[in-house]
Structure 1
Amino acid sequence: MWLLRPFGVYRPQNDTWLLADAVRQAGIRPGADVLEICSGTGALSIVAAATRPRTQTAVDVCRRAALATRVNTAVRGIDVRVECGDAFETVLGRRFDLVLANPPYVPGVADVPVGRARAWDAGVDGRAVLDRLCATAPLLLAPGGALLVVHSALSGVETTLRQLRGGDLKASVVARADVPFGPVLRARQRLLRDQGRIRPGQQVEELVVIRADRPSVGTA
């Protein structure tokens, strides 16, 4: 898939395509209102367009990412409302049938990443964005709606499941993949080992896609 990707915008890779496959297999009905959080290049909005949604919205805090999403969807004739800002504030009060998220999730060395690292670093435990997403998901989802989020097992799969279920959502892992460490994880192997997140000599991380469903109105 050809995509415009300005400097500093997250490059679609294994986690993107794992989530894209989950979208294709999710059985999303036509006519859905779709939201992509942390859109980057807009690759997932492009994939979601094949479900024939009623509306599509994409949000990223990075101006270059918002521009890339706008261009990459527009050249394909996909009508997407692209906004730049904090996703959870930008769409506050709106409900969606499908929410897609490939947020930053790599455990980092600082609570507030800056520069290019904002595309992958998510606080010391890797959950700065994930925790907000889990807390906000019940408010973002329309009755019968679904969230699909991808992240590394290094960031706590059970924590994500527990938080989503705590919001009265039905949550489970729907896809997994083991992938070799990329440059970011290779550069901080010692840190991750010292934190107890990886074993000595570990060179592979597990990626997971978690699906969370909000019950339809009237569902017991």
Structure 2
Amino acid sequence: MPGYPPDVNALVFPGVYAPQDDTALLAEALSDEPWEPGARVLDVGTGSGALALVAARRGAEVTAVDVSWRAVWTARLNARLSRLPVRIHRGNLFGPVRGRSFDVVLANPPYVPAPDSRRGPRGRSRAWDAGRDGRLVLDRICRDAPRLLRPGGVLLIVHSALSAPDRTLDRLRAAGLEAAVVRRRRIAFGPVLRSRRGWLRERGLLSAAQAADEKEELVVIRAERPLRQAA
């Protein structure tokens, strides 16, 4: 994709989430993480596999998961074309890696608030729609990801400021992790947010200034499991 770091580029089939600003921001945060060759990295909701490939190029032992078969096959093809050994599984969040532990867990989940969430997202919208508050998947990650981290392990998660970053921080800290926002970036609304601008204003998720400016803020939250948990 023009303007993005080469490592974030990937072949993308129709119906699969393409690397965007949130992908690039998470890749930048990932580049700040030091690890030894063979570190175990999990990319949950991998989409095209772009972030999994970034980690694999740095010598990590990478596992990737996505609920979409299209995404799984896309990520597998990208790994094969890149000649990188990434294990890619189809499954719902952490189900395929239950019982395992990791040095780094990456998550770029769906986080866009959606007006009609009675049936849950379907088709392509599963890559971005996340319930009326945008936290349908975020809260599950905050609940389950800490258990997958080794001592000293790190969770890196990206989402919109429209989806309550303070709630993410509170939940991760309550799970015993040391959590903070490490990256921020303001970006222009995409077509989904533009189409929901009025509804977001009604819900109080978007200010008048934000609606007029048509900009949202993305954040990357870093949460680390201490080497020694408090008694």
Distance in 2 (CA, whole Å) between partners of 1:148 and 1:194 is 31
- Identity among equivalent positions (%) equals 52
Is residue 2:51 matched to residue 1:44?
Answer: yes
Residue of structure 1 in register with 2:3 after alignment: none
- Change in CA separation of 1:184 and 1:63 when aligned onto 2, cut-off 3 Å: same
Is residue 2:105 matched to residue 1:104?
Answer: no
SS at match of 1:87: coil
Amino acid of the residue matched to residue 132 of structure 2? V
Residue of structure 2 in register with 1:26 after alignment: 33
Amino acid of the residue matched to residue 186 of structure 1? R
Distance in 2 (CA, whole Å) between partners of 1:74 and 1:162 is 39
Distance in 2 (CA, whole Å) between partners of 1:105 and 1:214 is 24
Q: Which structure 1 residue ranges, 4+ long, deviate > 3 Å from structure 2?
A: 217-220
Residue of structure 2 in register with 1:65 after alignment: 71
Residue of structure 2 in register with 1:82 after alignment: 88
Is residue 2:170 matched to residue 1:162?
Answer: yes
Post-superposition offset of 1:28: 2.9
Is residue 2:190 matched to residue 1:182?
Answer: yes
Amino acid of the residue matched to residue 141 of structure 1? L
Post-superposition offset of 1:219: 7.3
Post-superposition offset of 1:73: 1.2
Post-superposition offset of 1:217: 4.0
Post-superposition offset of 1:199: 1.3
Distance in 2 (CA, whole Å) between partners of 1:202 and 1:158 is 23
TM-score by length of 2: 0.91
Post-superposition offset of 1:69: 0.7
C-alpha contact (below 8 Å) 1:36/1:99 kept by paired residues: yes
Distance in 1 (CA, whole Å) between partners of 2:149 and 2:110 is 21
Query: What CA RMSD, in Å, does the superposition of the two structures yield over aligned residues?
Result: 1.4
Residue of structure 2 in register with 1:171 after alignment: 179
SS at match of 1:57: strand
C-alpha contact (below 8 Å) 1:149/1:209 kept by paired residues: yes
Post-superposition offset of 1:215: 1.1
SS at match of 2:115: coil
Distance in 2 (CA, whole Å) between partners of 1:218 and 1:15 is 31
Residues 109-167 of structure 1 show CA distances to partners (whole Å, capped at 9, x for unaligned) of 23311111001001111001100000012111111110001000000010000000000
C-alpha contact (below 8 Å) 1:137/1:164 kept by paired residues: no
Distance in 1 (CA, whole Å) between partners of 2:123 and 2:90 is 16
Amino acid of the residue matched to residue 93 of structure 2? A
TM-score by length of 1: 0.96
C-alpha contact (below 8 Å) 2:67/2:93 kept by paired residues: yes
Amino acid of the residue matched to residue 44 of structure 1? L
C-alpha contact (below 8 Å) 1:29/1:51 kept by paired residues: no
Distance in 1 (CA, whole Å) between partners of 2:18 and 2:51 is 12
C-alpha contact (below 8 Å) 1:105/1:129 kept by paired residues: yes
Amino acid of the residue matched to residue 211 of structure 1? R
C-alpha contact (below 8 Å) 1:37/1:58 kept by paired residues: yes
SS at match of 2:41: strand
Q: Unpaired runs of 5+ in structure 1?
A: none
Post-superposition offset of 1:65: 0.4
